[in-house]
Amino acid sequence: MTESEQPRRRRSRSRRRRRARLRRALLAGLVAGCLLLASGGWVGFRGWQARAHLINAAGLARELSAQVVGGDTDRAQRTLAALQEQAGAARSATTDPSWHVARRTPFAGDDLDAVRRIAVAIDDLARHAFPTLLRADLTSLVPSGGRLDLAKLTAVSAELSQADEAVQSTRRDLAAVPADRLVSQIRQALTDLRGEIDRLASLTAAADQGARLLPPLLGANGSRRYLLVSQNLAELRATGGMFGAYALIEADKGSVRMGRQGSSASFGRFVPPLKLSAETRALWTDLPGMYPADVNLTPHFPTAASLYREMFRRKTGTTVDGVLAVDPVVLSYLLKATGPVAVPGGVPLASEKVVQTLLNESYQRLDIKQQDEFFASSAAAVFDAFFTKNVNPRVLLSAFDRAITERRILFWSARPEEQRTFSDSRMAGTLPEQDTVPTVGVFLNDGSGAKLGYYLRPTANLTVGECRPDGRRELRLRVTLRSTAPKSGLSESVLGLGMAGDPYTARTLVSVFSPAGGAVLDARLDGSETALGSGTERRRHVATANVEVGPGAERTLEMTVLTAKTSVGQAELWLTPTASPWTTQVHSAPRCDQ
């Protein structure tokens, strides 16, 4: 072999080795591609199966929820068996090895992982939460014959706690699923399921707390006395409405009866005023300590309730164990369960018209003395119907759930150990000093001295804005108040003091509470800068604007609000309950650390 031929042969062998390596690589790639396609097809098939099972399970879960709360045990048992079969099949369809591998792929992995966790959540509910709820007799939470069976209530408490623990665990697992990068269909399915489980969690938490707290509250260990106060939404206050009519409720061993009734106006004026915190006094002067109608200028219900309790003690010499506040909208929900209720000397109260009857028509046709009598007899009639009629427990529990979610039922116990057990629930009305999610409060206080709150139609929009270099985040708030009041024809009782000048103009003090540790930066009313009152309450900056709305008009208040240091892209609104529900929208944003 010549010297010139050797390099050629070496180059030829090198080319053959490269071609062989290329063929092996192509073959390996082809095999891998075939396996991946086969796996993808299998995962797709299993995903189609999981989807079908999940759709069936979702429908069955809704049916079961209604049957459990309604006490339809026989049908609920059959529905539960079908739900467990569908939920188990959905979980199985997302468990095999190919799905496990696919969940780690860079593109579809997040979506497949979310589907898997949705299937697990529904299966866990079907196997742990719903069977326990089915064993528990939820009718024990409903009064019968004028009393609650405390022994039955105590017996069901352990099962309700077990069910609530399972639901809350599932809720936490789903909350940990990142949703930002999911395809729209799966993200929507996850959002819907979170909403359903949030609703279920509020029900089980309320049932658990009720079963644990109601026995001592209703006199299992000795008689109790409470003040039931009606919040008059026609004259707005931060927690809902001015404390108007009251009734003394007495409970002993599960039996409940209504005692003396009266009007808060009968308390008169307290001089010197009751002692207030420096923060409360700086915001609202001495008014909450002087007048029972002003104790809830603050949105922190424990402050308002404790002040009202002390005023009642000084006026009557009677010390109560707590304060329960409701409003006419709550009555409209309860009347769906009881049916219409006749009021002596007045019109029947029906669910569809009770808000209009109590907050508007009564002021148009009755004088002040007749109004007080009508409010007192209305409260007594609904109370009697609630405790003595055979009501549908499903409708009743649903009514309570909705009212508590909207913060229309508020309760404060004068016993600190009891107050601590539910102080983080909506029913406690506690303004927290720490936020899990940045929360902006929008609270309304009437400044007209009139009953024009009935005609207000409020709207609130909150948009999560930019991430700042200091770790805080900007929120943009827009609040619109529209008045549907007529320009003439209202009675003196409705027009009241007319402190806005024009008696048909509603003057409303709009107080915006920043998230805990945050601040309100600026405010514009109808596009122009506006003056603000300022203060702090429970680690929140408070900015108050005077907004006057004429009949048929609307005004828009815009504010820029800062959070404390946070990376989250969500925010929440806490609003004063009103006669007409708020129209709200919250626009979230990506996390700052993404």
Rounded Cα–Cα distance for residues 323 and 296 (Å): 13
Rounded Cα–Cα distance for residues 350 and 372 (Å): 19
Delimit the domains of the chain by residue range: 22-217, 224-421, 433-587
pLDDT digits (tens, 9 = 90+) for 187-216: 776 777 777 777 777 777 777 877 777 888
Sign of CA dihedral 398, 403, 406, 410: negative
pLDDT for 99: 56
What string of H, E and C letters represents the secondary structure of 502-564? Answer: CCCCEEEEEEEECCCCCEEEEEEECCEECCCEEEEECCEEEEEEEEEECCCCEEEEEEEEECC
Which residues partner with 440 through β-bridges?
A: 573
Task: Report the DSSP pairing between strands 528-529 and 255-263.
Answer: unpaired
Q: Residue 221 in contact with residue 237, Cβ under 8 Å?
A: no
For tokens 């009866």, name the residue. Answer: 257
- Topology of the domain covering 433-587: Immunoglobulin-like (2.60.40)
* Residue 294, both tokens: 């002003």
Sheet holding 519-525, edge to edge: 528-529, 519-525, 554-562, 473-483, 456-467, 583-587
**What percentage of the chain has pLDDT greater than the value 70?**
83
Which residues partner with 473 through β-bridges?
A: 467
Rounded Cα–Cα distance for residues 560 and 464 (Å): 10
Of 18, 129, 485, 47, whose CA–CA distance to 10 is shortest? 18
Residues 6+ apart with CB under 8 A from 166: 124, 125, 128, 129, 132
**Angle of helix 184-217 versus helix 109-124 axis, rounded to 10:** 30
Residues 6+ apart with CB under 8 A from 552: 483, 484, 485, 487
pLDDT for 70: 60
Question: Could you give the 3-state DSSP secondary structure of residue 240?
Answer: strand
Residue type, 312: F
pLDDT digits (tens, 9 = 90+) for 364-397: 888 877 887 788 788 788 878 877 777 776 677 7
Residues 6+ apart with CB under 8 A from 422: 209, 213, 411, 428
Distances from the Cα of 45 to the Cα of 38, 73, 94, 98, 439, angstroms: 10, 36, 11, 11, 43
Q: Give one DSSP letter per residue of 63-91, joined into a string.
A: HHHHHHHHT-HHHHHHHHHHHHHHHHHHH
- Topology of the domain covering 224-421: Aminopeptidase (3.40.630)
For tokens 């405390």, name the residue. Answer: 150
**What is the average pLDDT score of the chain?**
83
pLDDT digits (tens, 9 = 90+) for 40-99: 333 444 555 656 776 777 778 777 766 765 667 788 889 889 988 888 887 777 776 655
> What torsion, rounded to 10 degrees, do the Cα atoms 497, 499, 502, 507 define?
-120
Q: Which residues of the chain have pLDDT under 50?
A: 18-45
Q: Residue 174 in contact with residue 121, Cβ under 8 Å?
A: yes
Rounded Cα–Cα distance for residues 309 and 322 (Å): 8
Distances from the Cα of 379 to the Cα of 236, 276, 311, 348, 519, angstroms: 20, 31, 21, 12, 41
The model carries a pTM of 0.80
Q: Cis peptide before 272, with omega less than 30 degrees from 0?
A: yes
